[in-house]
Structure 1
Amino acid sequence: MEQVTRAKALAPQGTAGNALERTAGRVTRWAENWFPDAYIFAAIAVVVVALGALAVGAPVQRVGVAFGDGFWSLIPFTMQMAVVAISGYVVAVSPPASKAIAWLARLPRTARGAVMFVAFVSIGASLFNWAISLVFSGLLARALARRTDLRMDYRAAGAAAYLGMGATWALGLSSAAAQLQANPDSLPKTLLAITGVIPFSETIFLPQSMLMVAALTVASLVIAGLSAPVGERARTAQELGVSLDDIDMKLEKPVRPGEWLEYSPLVTVLIVLLGLVWIGHEFTTKNPLLAISNLNTYNFVFILLGMLLNWRPRRFLNAVAKSVPSTAGVLIQFPLYGGIAFMLTKAAAPGGVPLSEHLAHFFVAISTQGAFPAVMGVYSAVLGFFVPSGGGKWIIEAPYVIEAAKALHVHLGWSVTVYNAAEALPNLINPFWMLPLLGVLGLRAKDVVGFTFTQLIVHVPLVVFMLWALAPTLSYHPPVMP
């Protein structure tokens, strides 16, 4: 019965809808038929880079040793990015956040306005934490779908909830590349020697970067509103066969005396108070921008916030348990990226140069100072579709991107922004990062990809143009070594 209901809901409803739905269906079916799991692409990248290193003359033993040496080089960063996902989920499903969602869901007055509102919340939240953006926006879309006075297209709202991850997250505080470059302790030493330290003030807090965020936000909201079906063309969650029951986070009563501390806020309060002492010290003794740039500080704040908002340890632990599956890709893929980075930078022919320098020379040869941001943006976006990394791909690209930027005298922080802006583009049509959100929504990738593909058509030329047009407004500075 559910399949019949969904089939009726997705039946053609007019010429314009037919074209959009056919395009979405074709793109998604093609991806589902021909693209394996994202891990396979990371594994293929290992093989390709190893073959590339061998091709430039590196001995087999040196390539293998570099891969093994680099495999665990990103363990601190891997753990940090996993905690970003966990803490974001825990905050988003807390009782105060749930109440905030219920209140926000009462604000929109029209179905099209509701879709745009979800997009706005998703984009705004993504600038602070991409995991919060996915989960919170998904729960907001569900809450709006419960309103009987709005005939909101649930597919369009689901796509809008994904726009933070597909448009702006990499230009915000949870940008893996910006966080990595601002934290020398997290950088592999081979990469640190090339890039130096690039603080937030030279990446996400550049006026040019913030202008990009503003332009992408406006474009995304307009497209989300105009592409959302309304009236009889809209398809509600009920018509799609989606259950809108609340995600179960309710606590049972303790059954044993030894469990009372799990259900008491006492331990939570004591830990949060202790943590606040450290946070106060951190932000009063350092520049606040430098303090929040530290990924450990960023995660510490969100973990404490998650503890506080969930109040009772048992509820906090339940939320953590539900969040862990979203970290699987990070945990298994980032070690491969570490091995790739070492093969790029350390596996060289005797007396020769590593593969990263050959790639840097290639990009210098085909680029000019003015064209470099656009060329690298397109390249990074294409690579990002095959290796959806959530930012870890920067470890692979940084050695030759920064070397090329230095040779062409391109602002190094803007080179990170080029990567960040291009990194988000393939997310709009790659289902990998949609999975946590789709789980919350009860939808499938092909239900939303038609709307996200529409966003991609506008975002690609807009992003590439801004990367090219804004680059000349910045001056080159040599790397800053710690």
Structure 2
Amino acid sequence: MSINSKENINSNNKGSFLWRFSKNFQFAADKIIPDSFVFCIILTLIVFVLGLVVTGTGPITLINSWYGGLWSMISFAFQMSFMVICCGAAAKSPQVEKILKKVASLPKSRATAMVILLVFGLASSLINWAFSLILTPILAMQLSKNVKGMHFPLMIAAGYSTMILGQSWCPSASAYALLATEGHFLADKIGVIPQNLTTYNPVNTVLFFTLAVVTILIGIMTKPPKHEVVSYEGYKEEVHEEAVIENMTPADKMNNNKVLMYILGIAGIIVIGYSFATKGFIGSLNFNFVIFLFLTLNTFLYNTPIKFVGAFKDAIQPATQVMLQFPFYGGIMGIMSGSGLTAVMANGLIQVATATTMPFFAYLSASIVNLFVPSQGGQWIIQGPVLVEASQALNAHIPTIVNAFILGDEATNLIQPLYVIPALALVNIKLKEVWGFMAFIWFIWAIVTTIGLLVLPGII
């Protein structure tokens, strides 16, 4: 696969204003942003030095904290890798490719195609972030192949941003779900807070829909000139041919036995149906369950053991970056928590806050901490007590503070590239090709969100 620029058709055409503005961020990405693994190592070194200088923690303690943190992400790394493999295999099946091609053939204009992509990203993220993370770039790939004028790196960045945004208004977001659970670790200070007060808080709801509209407008109005369009080209259509084996041995018959895969598939359907019946559709969609949905789907898409294994072999390569990098981000989290650097950074920011400005400072502190602790659940465990204590001291509205925390945590996932790695791997695109657009979207989000957090609590 390769991404090829189109020929220069009109050198005087500079594209829309937003396109020209976005190029300032992309220029920085071209010159500064390295490979995603190198980005991870540089962040590790920065956090290590900050731990030494700011907290005075010794180097041996920091190294041991890093070592401990490496293994804290092993199970998550496997989950993410297995998700990429299962979803990638399903997406490349002839049946799913046919469906996506039909959807991609519906829009006839660039604007319509962008709206379909981003609405799909938002809707699927509200169901489950992993579902959105994988299918949105695959849909972008098909749209780029069918609609002229679609800039593929922008599509990937904008599609990824919808996955992130959906989590700010999604009941499965870690902090929202935790605070609504009996006996959570802050229950003695703030009690149990139901999601109608956090997730669906009016301030949060207005901000979500405002940012959704803004993101769609960004996608439509950030229009490159024809000679700068980078489309998804060079994609090789896979030829799916049935292997014909003459004089099959007993082993060959077992390897090509459809009954074995159907037994697995039916067992999977029973598990899925039981979960939906007992927990409901939304209640069932945790991370492992979404992976299991695609695993079960693959038993029918690749209905013999030999085809099933072959599809997974082909889908393993994109998962290598995920498998490698996630433990290293766990090491960063280990340094942050082991040195106390997270609390130092959060405390320093909120000391200047008031009840009115506390949501903004919660947003700012969460944004900064998330660059180094890219896990909402882990970040809330570290930062939550600090924000709650400061909010109570200032008599600030705690649900709005939680909203601000999640908005900040999610927004800087556009700068911190951890969660975009699986999407990039699936469509074989480099971080530096999309990071500038991600940073561009984050910049606009930051302006809109800051205004909203300072103004909305006083009028809603």
What interval of TM-score do these two structures reach, taking the shorter chain for normalisation?
0.7 to 0.9
**Deviations along 1:20-75, whole A, 9 cap, x unmatched?**
66655553343232223333443344444444444434455544443333331232
Supply the AA of the counterpart residue of 1:307: T
CA contact (8 A) 1:123 1:168 kept: yes
Taking a change above 3 Å as real, the CA distance of residues 117 and 129 of structure 1, as seen in their structure-2 partners, is same
Report the equivalent of 2:32. 34
CA contact (8 A) 2:73 2:326 kept: yes
CA contact (8 A) 2:388 2:398 kept: yes
TM-score by length of 2: 0.75
- Give the Cα separation in 2 of the matches to 1:261 and 1:471: 64
The one of 294, 299, 307 aligned to 2:291: 299
- Give the Cα separation in 2 of the matches to 1:407 and 1:342: 24
**What is the aligned-residue RMSD (CA, Å)?**
4.7
**Deviations along 1:393-451, whole A, 9 cap, x unmatched?**
76357513542234314676655644543345456577776666567667777776776
Report the equivalent of 1:459. 445
Tell me the secondary structure at the aligned position of residue 366 of structure 1: coil
Taking a change above 3 Å as real, the CA distance of residues 404 and 344 of structure 1, as seen in their structure-2 partners, is same
Report the equivalent of 1:277. 270
CA contact (8 A) 2:342 2:369 kept: no
Q: What's the CA shift for 1:139?
A: 4.3
| Residues 1:324 and 2:316 are matched in the alignment | yes
Tell me the secondary structure at the aligned position of residue 166 of structure 1: helix
| Residues 1:243 and 2:234 are matched in the alignment | yes
Tell me the secondary structure at the aligned position of residue 153 of structure 1: coil
**Which of 216-225 and 43-52 deviates more?**
43-52
Taking a change above 3 Å as real, the CA distance of residues 403 and 218 of structure 1, as seen in their structure-2 partners, is same
The one of 360, 363, 376 aligned to 1:374: 360
**Deviations along 1:326-370, whole A, 9 cap, x unmatched?**
4444433333343444444445xxxxxx44443343233122343
Report the equivalent of 2:325. 333
CA contact (8 A) 2:158 2:219 kept: no
**Deviations along 1:249-305, whole A, 9 cap, x unmatched?**
62541646434444444233212322333334444444765443x433343334323
- Give the Cα separation in 2 of the matches to 1:402 and 1:297: 30
CA contact (8 A) 1:360 1:403 kept: yes
Taking a change above 3 Å as real, the CA distance of residues 295 and 137 of structure 1, as seen in their structure-2 partners, is closer
Report the equivalent of 1:165. 160
Report the equivalent of 2:388. 405
- Give the Cα separation in 2 of the matches to 1:10 and 1:130: 39
Q: What are the equivalent positions in structure 2 for 1:420-439 lying under 5 Å apart?
A: 420-426=406-412
TM-score by length of 1: 0.72
| Residues 1:358 and 2:348 are matched in the alignment | no
Report the equivalent of 1:123. 122
- Give the Cα separation in 2 of the matches to 1:364 and 1:286: 39
Residue identity over aligned pairs, in percent, reads: 21
Supply the AA of the counterpart residue of 1:269: Y
Q: What are the equivalent positions in structure 2 for 1:390-401 lying under 5 Å apart?
A: 391-392=374-375, 395=378, 398-401=381-384
Taking a change above 3 Å as real, the CA distance of residues 192 and 307 of structure 1, as seen in their structure-2 partners, is farther
Taking a change above 3 Å as real, the CA distance of residues 192 and 449 of structure 1, as seen in their structure-2 partners, is same
Q: What's the CA shift for 1:106?
A: 3.1
Supply the AA of the counterpart residue of 1:28: Q
- Give the Cα separation in 1 of the matches to 2:189 and 2:382: 7
Tell me the secondary structure at the aligned position of residue 108 of structure 1: coil
- Give the Cα separation in 1 of the matches to 2:456 and 2:270: 41
Tell me the secondary structure at the aligned position of residue 9 of structure 1: coil
- Give the Cα separation in 2 of the matches to 1:192 and 1:64: 33
Taking a change above 3 Å as real, the CA distance of residues 194 and 66 of structure 1, as seen in their structure-2 partners, is farther
CA contact (8 A) 1:242 1:443 kept: no
CA contact (8 A) 2:125 2:163 kept: yes
Report the equivalent of 2:82. 83
- Give the Cα separation in 2 of the matches to 1:144 and 1:461: 30
- Give the Cα separation in 2 of the matches to 1:92 and 1:267: 22
Supply the AA of the counterpart residue of 1:296: N
- Give the Cα separation in 1 of the matches to 2:86 and 2:279: 24
Report the equivalent of 1:350. none
